[in-house]
Amino acid sequence: MKNSFDEKILEEANDWIKTNQKVVLATVIQTWGSSPRQVGSRMIVNEKGDFSGSVSGGCVESAVVRECVGIIKDNQPFKKIEFKVSNESAWEVGLACGGEIAVYLEQIN
Amino acid sequence: MKLEILKEIIKKKENKLEFAIVTNLLTGESEIFEEKKPLSKNFEKYNDQINRFYKSKKNGIVENTDIFIETYIRPIKVIIVGAVHIAQYLVDYAKSLNFEILIIDPRGYFASEQRFPSMNIINKWPDEAFKEIETNSNTALIALTHDPKIDDPALQHALKKKFYYIGALGSKKTHENRCQRLSDAGFSEDEINSIHGPIGIKLGGKSAPEIALSIVSQLVSETYKK
C-alpha cells in the first residue's frame, strides 16, 4: 500500500508568494540508478536563494538553488537540469550514490 | 506553474481528493487531472496515456512523451481509540507522515480540544462513532485505552472490516485476556492473531513518546507490507 507522504512544500510555496517572494518550484522528474530521492520530490527557492524541501538529500541542492535564482533573474519560465555521478573531489556538485536525476524548475506566476 | 493551479492543488489536498498534476515539460503548461473529467486542449491528445498512468498511482514521465504526472492519493485513515497521553505524541508523529487521524474517546475530559488542538475528535462510544466514519481494509486502528469497554467494540469493528493494521496497547496479560474475550465473541484464531498486541515494535523505551514512536514505526512498516 502507498501512503502520500507529503512534505507540504506547495503549501509553503503559497505562503512565500503571499509575502511577495518570487518562487521557483524544483521537482525530481526522472531518476536513473540509485538516487537519493524519489520522483516527485520537491524543493522551492526564492530570488534570494532561500530554499525549503529537497531534491537529493543535500548532494545537488546548491546547484539547484543557483539555477533557480538564475531563471528568476533571466525571467525564464522553466528549465530542465540533469545531474550525474560526482567524481571524488570534495564539494563538487554531483550524486555520490552513483545515480542520475533530472530536475524540472518552474517559476510560479 | 500558474498560481491559481497551485492554490487549486492545495484546496484539493485539504479536501482529501484524489487527482494528479500533469505538466508538459516542453511548454511548461500544467493542469489538474481528475478521473472522468476531460483534459484541456493542451493535453487531450495524451488522454489515454495519462489515464493509464494515473491508475498506477505513480509519479513520472509518461512513456514516449514529455508529460510529467504527479499523483495525489488520499492519506491513509488511522483511528486512535483513547485520547490518552501516548495519543498526543502519536498525533505529532503521524502529522509529518501525512496519515489522516481520527480520535475516538467517549470520555470528554480526555478528548478535549485543549489536549488535542484542531484534531478530529469524536466524543462518542466506538459503536456510535463508527457509524459516522467510513472504514475499509485500508484503515488502521490503534486502541490505547486498555479498557475493554472502550477498546473491545473498536477492535471488533476493525476485525470485521478487515483493517490492514490493528494494534492494541496493554501488557501480555492484558492482551491474553483480550484475546480470550474476542474468542468468546466468535472471532477466529487467525483474526485474533492479526492484532498487534502488545502494540509496537521493540525499541526498549517506556516513556509515552517512545511508545508512540514504536507504534508509529510498526504502523509504517505494516503499511508497506500490504
Domains and their CATH numbers in chain B: 3-72 (no CATH), 77-225 (3.40.50.720)
Question: Which of B69, B77, B38 has its CA nearest to residue B52?
Answer: B69
Order of strands, sheet of B60-61, starting from the edge strand that comes earlier in the sequence: B30-33, B19-24, B67-72, B60-61
Domain boundaries of chain A, sorted by first residue: 22-107
Is residue B61 less than 8 Å (CB to CB) from chain A?
yes
ipTM over 0.85: yes
**Packing angle, helices A9-18 and B3-14, rounded to 10:** 130
The rounded percent of chain B whose pLDDT value lies above 70 is 100
Q: Mean pLDDT across the stretch A24-47?
A: 92
pLDDT category, A5, cuts 50, 70, 90? low
Closest to B10 (Cβ–Cβ): which among A14, A104, A109? A14
The answer to whether residue B93 neighbours chain A at the CB level (below 8 Å) is: no
| Chain B from 166 to 205: CB within 8 A of any A CB | none
Which chain B positions have a beta carbon within 8 Å of A77's beta carbon?
A: 28
Q: Is the pLDDT of residue A89 over 50?
A: no
CB contact under 8 A, B59 and A40: yes
Q: Dig out the grid coordinates for B169 from the structure.
A: 496497547
Distance, CA of B39 to CA of B160 (rounded, Å): 40
Residues of A with CB under 8 A from a CB of B: 1-6, 10-11, 13-14, 17, 25, 27, 29-30, 38-40, 77-78, 80, 104, 106-109
Lowest mean pLDDT among A5-9, A49-53, A80-84: A5-9
Task: Report the predicted TM-score, pTM, of the whole model to 2 decimal places.
Answer: 0.81
The answer to whether A28 touches A57, Cβ cutoff 8 Å, is no
**Are the C-beta atoms of residues A81 and A95 closer than 8 Å to each other?**
no
Looking at residue A93, its pLDDT comes to 62
DSSP state of B16: T
Indicate yes or no: CB of B98 within 8 angstroms of CB of A39.
no
